[in-house]
Amino acid sequence: MFLPISKEDMSARGWTQCDFIFITGDAYVDHPTFGTAIISRVLENAGYKVGIIAQPNWRTDTDFLKLGTPKYGFMVNAGNIDSMVAHYTVAKKPRSQDAYSPGHKMGLRPDRCLTVYCKKLREIFRDIPIIVGGLEASLRRFAHYDYWADRVFPSVLSDCMADALIFGMGERQTVKIADAIKDGNLREVLRELPGVCYFTENPAGIKGLTLPSFEICRDSKEKYAEACRIEYDEQDAVRGKRLIQPHGKRYLVQNPPMPPLDTTEMDAVYELPYERYYHPIYESMGGVPAIEEVEFSITHNRGCFGACNFCSIAFHQGRQVTVRSTASVLREAEMLTRNPHFKGYIHDVGGPTANFRLPSCEKQQKSGLCKGKKCLAPTPCKNLQVDHREYVEMLRQVRALPKIKKVFIRSGVRFDYLMEDESRDFFHELVKYHVSGQLKVAPEHCSAAVLDRMGKPHIEVYKRFANEFYKYTKSIGKEQYLVPYLMSSHPGSTLRDAVELALFLKHEKMRPEQVQDFYPTPGTLSTAMYYTGLDPHTMKPVFTPKTAHEKQMQRALLQYFRPQNRAIVREALIKAGRQDLIGSGPNCLIPGTVADTRGDFRKTNGKNSGKGGRNGGKNGVCRQNGGRGKNGRSNGRPKSRLGGKWEPKRR
């Protein structure tokens, strides 16, 4: 049964009042990949009456009053992703679709919706407790750079005027805060509760590290970078310290992170009575598209010690990996087979990083993860423990369940971690059983200088991985491809680095149809580099492409093969001093003259256009010289010859 969304639903349960009302920027989907579903079910399991108001119309009071006044308070989030990311592309243009809204409809939540919702609640309900959480709250908890406004904002807790902010995965904090509100001692509990932020006017007796104030971060890029480094350094549940950041006459206090759930607790959370689908009210509106990717996916872990600088996971879930038991995963898989929509395919058994089942090393349990260091980049730590045996056995047992035809892995696989495993059992079983034609992996770039800024391994690791992948794929008679994620214009990426990546793609015969420009989302180290022009760990200058034209040149170089890109690629090559790559030579990226360009395009007869030609699928989703057509069939074979003479430049 879904939680109440109307007074009629409340009456059907015999309720006259909710204890807590949950307000969210997403449509109501009761599935454990949605934060709203998890936290509301955790509260329900703790004995509280919880109602849901999804995507209220913020222009009037009506929707906020539809469930009446809660007995204890409101819980508010913006949804599964930051509302500004949901609304705008990296070019700051409005998106045309929202997967978390019924029928992909845009405009059902406001920009910076956490703040808008809370201000409306304060206007209507005055002093009732308001607790905020979720990704938008978590990543904006300190003074933070806002890409869309191009300035530093104060903590979102200051803007939204809530009583407390839960950061990270909030199951434990939510129940303790609910109990504190019920018992009337919220202020006292907040002072000691891990995983929360709150404001105080009197910091006397509160011990912790003091960050540069909001005002100083707003006015000094150096101090902003320094504050970001400290925030990341202390984002550890074992050794993290309390942080204090002045905001005018008030003080933002972040208590140390909450320790992650253990296996027993995670099993319990993921086995709560979710409906595992969107609410029926959305059926006539076209449903909620976001369910399609996750309805038959299973989360087996949380956290990621990979900690890429552009990724928000380390600052939200944390670097410490925690897992569900194999028995719990099997129970969920068996339950999915009873779903009337199930057709025999488990789409994913994964998480932030699918093949992490262990802590990165033994010492982190007592000492925490190392400050200012990465477990995998630029090379794996000598203390790294690598073992896929438990994951392999779990996958084997899921595959063996009745009614299951295939089990795929679609969330990220860390190929650098995989390559450190002396056993190749997981690698071989991944290729043989768990790839649905294409395996998505994330080398991101080929320049060592750029990869260092990203916190990623160098490209040689990817090349070794790709070699083995295609070798084993061929040996078992399958036609499968790697789909490499690539990013242009990341801080540290010069035009010459983009040229280097274009040459890498040409050598490997990879023709990406989609390229992701770096998106400066709140709370990441890469965003701090973008805004400040400094590496927060070294405080050394970092070149960052910022103008639209700079970004356009870097993006075009990654798709140099497109005829419509040749003019700007020519400009980029000349600016980078690489005129040697213009012409008819084997390493050239584009023809030598405009006339040559036109002639070349005519000769191809559209074969490279990505719209049905030999190198593009029917829907233009060619990734590596052989895309997948409308029915998922491959339209070409990759011709990559790894290990040749080409090598990336070293810096």
Per-residue pLDDT of 39-85, as tens digits, reads: 999 999 999 999 999 999 999 999 999 999 999 999 999 999 999 99
Residue whose token pair is 């499968």: 480
pLDDT > 90 fraction of the chain, expressed in percent and rounded: 88
Mean pLDDT of the chain: 91
The SS3 of residue 176 is: helix
- pLDDT at residue 594, rounded to an integer: 53
Task: Return the H-helix or E-strand segment holding 449.
Answer: helix 448-454
- pLDDT at residue 649, rounded to an integer: 37
Spatial CA neighbour of 650 closest among 451, 448, 444, 459: 448
pLDDT > 70 fraction of the chain, expressed in percent and rounded: 91
Tell me the H-state helices in 476-576.
495-507, 525-532, 548-558, 566-575
Based on its alpha-carbon atoms, the radius of gyration of the chain, rounded to whole angstroms, reads: 25
How large is the average pLDDT for residues 269-274? 98
Q: What pTM was estimated for this model as a whole?
A: 0.89
Residue 365: pLDDT band with limits 50, 70, 90? confident
Q: Which two tokens stand for residue 568?
A: 């700007």
Q: In this predicted model, what pLDDT tens digit does every residue of 148-183 receive, in sequence order?
A: 999 999 999 999 999 999 999 999 999 999 999 999
Task: Go through 162-194 and write b for each residue having 16 or more CB atoms within 10 A of its CB, e for each that does not.
Answer: bbbbbbbbbbbbbbbbbbbbbeeebeebbeebb
Q: In this predicted model, what pLDDT tens digit does every residue of 556-588 receive, in sequence order?
A: 999 999 999 999 999 999 999 999 999 999 999
- pLDDT at residue 592, rounded to an integer: 87
Task: Go through 459-476 and write b for each residue having 16 or more CB atoms within 10 A of its CB, e for each that does not.
Answer: bebbbebbebbbebbeee
Query: What are the boundaries of each domain within the chain?
Result: 7-198
- pLDDT at residue 333, rounded to an integer: 98
Cβ-contact 301, 356 below 8 angstroms: yes
Q: In this predicted model, what pLDDT tens digit does every residue of 208-217 receive, in sequence order?
A: 999 999 999 9
Task: Go through 315-353 and write b for each residue having 16 or more CB atoms within 10 A of its CB, e for each that does not.
Answer: bbbbbbbbbbebebbbebbeebeeeeeeeeebbbbbbbb
Residues contacting residue 292 through CB under 8 Å, at least 6 positions apart:
none
Residue whose token pair is 């700051």: 92
- pLDDT at residue 609, rounded to an integer: 38
Count CA atoms within 13 Å of residue 228 on its CB side. 33
- CATH of 7-198 given 3.20.20.70, 3.30.450.40, 3.40.50.280, 3.90.230.10: 3.40.50.280
Spatial CA neighbour of 438 closest among 462, 469, 467, 416: 469
Q: Which two tokens stand for residue 172?
A: 């434990």
Residue whose token pair is 């005129």: 579
The more confidently predicted of residues 594 and 176 is: 176
Q: In this predicted model, what pLDDT tens digit does every residue of 473-517 receive, in sequence order?
A: 999 999 999 999 999 999 999 999 999 999 999 999 999 888 899
The SS3 of residue 503 is: helix
Asked, as a colleague might, if the bond just before 536 is cis with ω within 30 of 0, I would say no
The more confidently predicted of residues 609 and 323 is: 323
CB burial of residue 650 (10 Å; 0-12, 13-18, 19+): exposed
Residue 591: pLDDT band with limits 50, 70, 90? very high
How large is the average pLDDT for residues 297-312? 96
Spatial CA neighbour of 566 closest among 581, 551, 577: 581
pLDDT tops 80 at residue 643:
no
